[in-house]
Amino acid sequence: MKVFDTSDIRNVALIGHGHSGKTSLASAMLFTAGATDRHLKVDEGNTITDFDEEEVARKITIFSAVAAFPWQKTKLNIIDTPGFNIFLPEAQSAMVAADAAVIVVDGVAGVEVSTEKVWQFAEEMNLPCIFVINKLDRERSSFERAVESIHERFGRAAVPVHLPLGEEKNFTGIIDLIRMKSYCYKPDADGKGKESEIPTPQEAAADKAHEALVEMVAEGNDELLEEFFATGTLPVEHLVSGLKEAVKNRRIFPVLCLSACHNIGTDLALSHLSEILPSPAEGRAIQASENGKEVQKTVAPGESGSAFVFKTAADPFAGRVTFFKVISGLLKDDAHLNNMRSSVNERLAHIATPFGKTMLPVTELRAGDIGVVAKLKDTLTSDTLCEKNNCAIYQGVEIAEPSIAYAVSAKTRNDEDRLSTAIHKILEEDRSLRFYRDPMTKEFLLAGNGQQHLEVVVSRLKRRYGVEVQLNAPKIPYRETIRGTASVQGRHKKQTGGHGQFGDCWIRMEPLPRGEKFQFANEIFGGAIPRNFVPAVEKGIVEAAEQGFLAGYPVTDFKVTVYDGSYHDVDSSEMAFKLAGRKAFRAGMQQAKPALLEPVMKVSVETPIDFAGDLMSDFNGRRGRVSGMDIKGNMQTINAQVPMSEMLNYQNELISMTQGRASFHMEFDHYDYVPVPQAEKIIAAAKSHMTVEEEE
């Protein structure tokens, strides 16, 4: 592929709700532009941007993919992103490389849950946006209804630049409101429309929509406004330049229409992307850190070379594959760049332009372009590469912490040996995953954005790395403690044929504030217990506390003071005093009002205001306490403290309660007492389980 100047590059992210047709649109664009020789279909599992085995099997986009191709005089880097809620962090990461976004809206369903979320991402990144209403060939599709849903959610700045000719199965063409021409298509053809005059029945509607578009464009520009007042309209060249400026400043969001499946209107969409959207040099500012200060950078062709890594993939054959955007300068093949995080000098051998899973070799890439390279030594997502050490460090997006965790265990010993390496490679690809060992339950936990997210990971481990694992609901790390005090004796005496065993201690047990764990004090006077035997008493108590008293859970937040005892010159030993300490602990627990503790999670839910009341009522039903609320626009954040045991099935129920429009995050906050009714059930279940184990 030829090398393009910065001004001729367009980096565009296709974003929107799942099944709105983003991948189909990317496929239609590639075919219309001549980058592929036939219109590849999602349902056939052969599209350029959905090539991972999991994507093919599930027929959804899971990972972002880039496809570069020329159109007219520009190079389009199309970034196809996931649309389902649990995979949106992947879309968010990829949007960093874009200079504009195309928000794809289903012509039947209109604006959906993820449409709102990706709009929020684009707003936070200050990305210019174009709306594309897709699937207008489907039954019950409606351009007017879809536009109204866009206006309802995102305001009147979304202005149609297209009108459809026909509807549902009779959708055969498009009226371009910029040039006031109509374009008719043959379904499933080459995507090139036949230009003609606007049909008479549609002239009045087209004139009205054209006038609304011209007024919106003129409003934000004094020169254009004067021209509009003088002539009543704007010439095409001024309308295009004014629209481009308004789109760049996020003052106008053009609305296009098409059918990606039947390749109707794709050529017009491509022309608008090239004509209206900004180049990288005209794009948004890039957040960076330079000499410890927050700064804003722009794509700069004339400076020394630097690049930002926005995605890392693991290829079974090529190894680690790194996707990057050139921020400044000229990046040539075989260049050497310094990694600002690891200080490793990386050799970029065989740089290429991405085309799905294919890499098209290039000799150089100019500022603003997107490239890919394989086998870098120590470069990961969000790293900055540059020619010199004092380069600014470009900032990526902060990915929200995972909302759900499952215990993961290997099925066989061989799987266990290979699990760590395979998981590490998957973690490099997916920044929204976490893999860690719970210090309380000793389980290995895999945390992600939902059950399906983790199921995809499990499937990939098996398909790609031959590692089979199973997911289980994590254990609740209950704890035991005491509410009262006790002074008890622990006495161990055993006579055998030779030396006997004798240890005797008196201890005082008392509760500690939550989180203080365990304290041990020695108040022995006069040598009642020799000094060298006191640590054995403590060891016996600690070991007994680990095994629990009520239900087998570790005892915490208590203090033990050993204050008296006795010993035998011959029969006393460390082992005897350790056993005495264990007996003393057991006796003390019986008197010190033992109680069960449960982990309480700090939960934060972001939801449309309409659902806030129901969610707060639901928290009350889960024994939760709402601690605060915050309103931002039409969204409300609810903060609450809820027992972990009540949150294991929360994600699925949250989706049901809010139609999938809310998201949540939780983390451990503190331990608190389990109410008596629940505690009795937990203790009974634990004793039943221990009885079964003993019988086995």
* Topology adopted by domain 406-472: Alpha-Beta Plaits (3.30.70)
Q: What is the end-to-end Cα distance of the chain in Å, rounded?
A: 68
Q: What is the pLDDT of residue 672?
A: 92
Please give the backbone phi and psi of residue 284, each rounded to the nearest 5 degrees, phi first: -70, 165
DSSP β-ladder status, 129-134 and 100-106:
parallel
DSSP 150-208: HHHHH-TTEEESEEEES-GGG--EEEETTTTEEEE--TTS-SPPEEEPPPHHHHHHHHH
**What is the C-alpha to C-alpha distance for residues 153 and 118, in angstroms, rounded to an integer?**
13
Domain range list for the chain: 6-200+250-282, 286-394, 406-472, 479-592, 598-678
pLDDT of residue 477: 86
Single out the residue of 288, 456, 479 nearest to residue 382, CA to CA: 288
Q: Position 367: which residue type? A: A
Tokens 């957040």 sit on residue = 287
Coarse DSSP helix, strand, coil percentages of the chain, rounded to the nearest 5 percent: 35, 35, 35
6-200+250-282 topology per CATH = Rossmann fold (3.40.50)
Work out the number of other CB atoms within 10 angstroms of the CB of residue 372: 24
Radius of gyration of the chain (CA): 33
The pLDDT value given to residue 191: 81
Place of tokens 């395979």: 422
CA quadruple 249, 81, 9, 122: dihedral, nearest 10: 10
Contact by Cβ (8 Å): 30, 269: no
Helix (H) or strand (E) holding 510: strand 501-511
Select from 456, 458, 96, 124 the least CA-distant residue to 311.
Answer: 96
Q: Identify whether the C-beta of residue 347 lies closer than 8 Å to the C-beta of residue 334.
A: yes
Query: Hey, which bits of 399-478 come out as E strands?
Result: 404-410, 434-437, 444-448, 469-472
Among candidates 684, 605, 594, which has minimal Cα distance to 638? 605
Give, to the nearest 10 degrees, the angle between helix 612-621 and helix 650-658. 150
**What is the token pair recorded at 497?**
């044929």
Beta strands in 550-593 (DSSP E): 558-566
What's 599's DSSP letter? E
Angle at Cα 134 formed by Cα 235 and Cα 15, nearest 5°?
Answer: 95
Q: Kindly provide the residue ranges of all beta strands, DSSP E only, lying in 329-431, ordered along the sequence.
A: 330-332, 335-339, 345-348, 352-355, 358-361, 364-366, 370-374, 384-386, 393-394, 404-410
Task: Look at residue 498 in the predicted model and tell me its pLDDT.
Answer: 66
Instruction: Output the six-digit token pair for 598.
Output: 């449960």
Token pair listed for 376: 């870098």
- Which tokens hold the place of 346? 């990386």
Do residues 26 and 14 touch, judged by C-beta distance below 8 A?
A: yes
Structural contact between residues 171 and 165, judged by C-beta atoms closer than 8 angstroms: yes
Instruction: Supply the pTM of this predicted model.
Output: 0.80
Please give the Cα distance from 265 to 143 (Å, whole number).
14
Please state whether 334 falls in left (phi above 0), alpha (psi between -120 and 50) or beta. left
Q: What are phi and psi of 358, to 5 degrees?
A: -90, 145
pLDDT at residue number 447: 87
Q: Which CATH architecture has domain 286-394?
A: Beta Barrel (2.40)
Same fold, 406-472 and 598-678: yes
Nearest to 341 by CA among 311, 293, 386, 304: 386
Strand order in the sheet with 162-165: 162-165, 173-176, 181-184, 194-196
185 phi and psi, to 5 degrees?
-130, 150
Structure tokens at 143: 């351009």
Phi-psi region of 7 (alpha: psi -120 to 50; beta: other; left: phi over 0): alpha
Q: Residues near 593 by Cβ (< 8 Å), separated by ≥ 6?
A: 482, 483, 484
Q: Are 231 and 218 in contact (CB under 8 A)?
A: no
- Using alpha carbons only, what angle is made at residue 378 by residues 346 and 90, rounded to the nearest 5 degrees? 115
Which residues of the chain fall short of a pLDDT of 50? 693-696
Cross-strand bridge partners of residue 672: 598
By the 10 Å C-beta count (0-12 exposed, 13-18 middle, 19+ buried), 616 is classed as middle
Nearest to residue 243, comparing CAs of 212, 205, 284?
212
Q: Write out the two tokens for 544.
A: 């007994």
User: What's the CA gap between 674 and 411, in Å, rounded?
Assistant: 34
**In degrees, to the nearest 5, what angle opens at C-alpha 42 toward C-alphas 36 and 44?**
90
- Pair of tokens at residue 647: 């949150």
Strand ranges across the sheet with 469-472:
434-437, 444-448, 404-410, 469-472
Residues 6+ apart with CB under 8 A from 88: 82, 114, 117, 118, 121, 449
Q: Which CATH number fits domain 479-592: 3.40.710.10, 3.40.50.970, 3.40.50.2300, 3.30.230.10?
A: 3.30.230.10
Tell me the CATH class for 598-678: alpha beta
